């Protein structure tokens, strides 16, 4: 995990903050005293007057990249509505652990929580809820494939499952310890590189980009 004092800030004003979450850091507090260090805790330390739960959306612990956090209740409600109504745009860069034959497409897979192996998600065409992801191959690099993902839905582990499943791309993301052959946290090659949303107070359409660290 990154140093506890490190939380790169790419935008900050009276209403919201946009930060780059390091891989290996929780987005929100977990259960237990040893799982309290997270993006939310660090933002609250930086901005003590902000609301108790500023997170508007989440990233998996092993995923790095851009997150927006609301500092006021009004901003939180407005941003949450934008995410719910799919008025935001998120893009990710990933490295797949193999060479992908296709060039671009859309994945639509029903999946659900594997209750016997939490937090793993599993393909389930009967009881699962559909996740939708657009993807585009960017390059082949030393036997691995660099891919851009832009999810339509935002379900837990959606990109990781869509990459690894034989019903998706069939190649897990490099370093994925749940769906691939990764063997430790903080090594997943999945980065939230682009985030677009409308500022709830100014009405300005904002766009932020973060270069992947891999």
Q: Which of 5, 34, 60, 176 is catalytic?
A: 60
Q: Which pair of tokens denotes residue 190?
A: 């999945």
CB 147 within 8 A of CB 137: yes
Q: Which residues of 48-59 are buried (b: 16+ CB within 10 A; e: fewer)?
A: eebbeebbbbbb
60 is known as an active-site residue: yes
For 125, residues 6+ apart whose C-beta sits below 8 A from its C-beta are 110
Tracing tokens 């237990």 back to the chain, one arrives at 32
Pairing outcome for strands 89-96 and 190-198: antiparallel
Question: Which residues are annotated as catalytic?
Answer: 60
């Amino acid at each position: 995990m990154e140093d506890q004092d490190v939380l790169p800030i790419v935008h900050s004003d009276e209403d919201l903050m946009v930060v780059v979450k390091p891989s290996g850091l929780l987005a929100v507090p977990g259960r237990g005293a040893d799982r309290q260090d997270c993006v939310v805790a660090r933002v609250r330390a930086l901005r003590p007057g902000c609301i108790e739960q500023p997170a508007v959306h989440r990233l998996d612990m092993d995923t790095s990249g851009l997150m927006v956090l609301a500092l006021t209740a009004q901003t939180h409600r407005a941003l949450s509505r934008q995410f719910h109504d799919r008025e935001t745009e998120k893009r990710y860069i990933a490295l797949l652990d193999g060479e992908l034959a296709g060039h671009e497409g859309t994945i639509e897979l029903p999946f659900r929580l594997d209750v016997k192996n939490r937090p793993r998600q599993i393909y389930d065409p009967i009881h699962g809820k559909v996740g939708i992801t657009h993807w585009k191959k960017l390059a082949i690099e030393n036997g691995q494939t660099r891919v851009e993902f832009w999810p339509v839905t935002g379900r837990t582990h959606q990109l990781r499952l869509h990459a690894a499943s034989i019903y998706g791309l069939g190649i897990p993301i490099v370093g994925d310890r749940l769906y691939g052959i990764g063997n430790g946290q903080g090594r997943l090659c999945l980065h939230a590189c682009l985030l677009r949303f409308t500022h709830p107070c100014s009405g300005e359409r904002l766009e932020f980009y973060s270069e992947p660290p891999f």
